[in-house]
Amino acid sequence: MSDIILGFCCNYTSSVDEDTLKKAGLVPDGLRIKRLPCTGKLEINTLLDAFEQGAEAVFVAGCQVDKCHNLSGSQRAAKRVGYAKKILEELGIDPARLEMFFVSRGETEPIVEAARHMSGVLSDAESIHR
């Protein structure tokens, strides 16, 4: 079974279905995407709960800062990701397992790159622990 990578994506950034990306072999099989009306609505406890519920890595894909549909949603999300990374570190979880990415509207490639990046973080962590 592959590692679960959970992506919280702004509805405006992610236009392609995760199953389509998996079938094309573009993303890891363990990728799960949750679409949000705005990443600015994402709370710190939701990010931390994702790890508690089995995600090995989590990323947030929000709008480009200067092009956010909800004006400052991506900025709020980035701050919350930063706070959650500090909490993860305090809990002994590698904060690199949580990242924020800024994506232009409707672009698929940055979501693919984010999923691959997070998969690489997990691979690097596995090789260190061997």
Mean pLDDT, residues 54-62: 95
* Calpha distance 123→21 (Å, rounded): 20
Q: What is the DSSP letter of 41?
A: G
pLDDT, greater one: 71 or 19: 19
What is the model's pTM?
0.90
Task: Name 54's bridge partners.
Answer: none
* Calpha distance 24→21 (Å, rounded): 5
Which two structure tokens, joined as six digits, stand for 7? 């992506």
Q: Which domains does the chain have, with CATH numbers?
A: 5-128 (3.40.50)
Q: Looking at residue 94, what is its pLDDT?
A: 96
Q: Looking at residue 123, what is its pLDDT?
A: 84
Cβ atoms of 14 and 111 closer than 8 Å: yes
pLDDT, greater one: 71 or 54: 54
pLDDT, greater one: 65 or 69: 65
Q: Does position 130 have pLDDT exceeding 50, yes or no?
A: no
Q: Which of 57, 37, 55, 44 is nearest to 124 (CA)?
A: 57
* Calpha distance 19→72 (Å, rounded): 30
Of 46-50, 96-100, 114-118, the one with minimum mean pLDDT is 114-118
Q: Looking at residue 127, what is its pLDDT?
A: 58
Mean model confidence pLDDT for the chain: 88
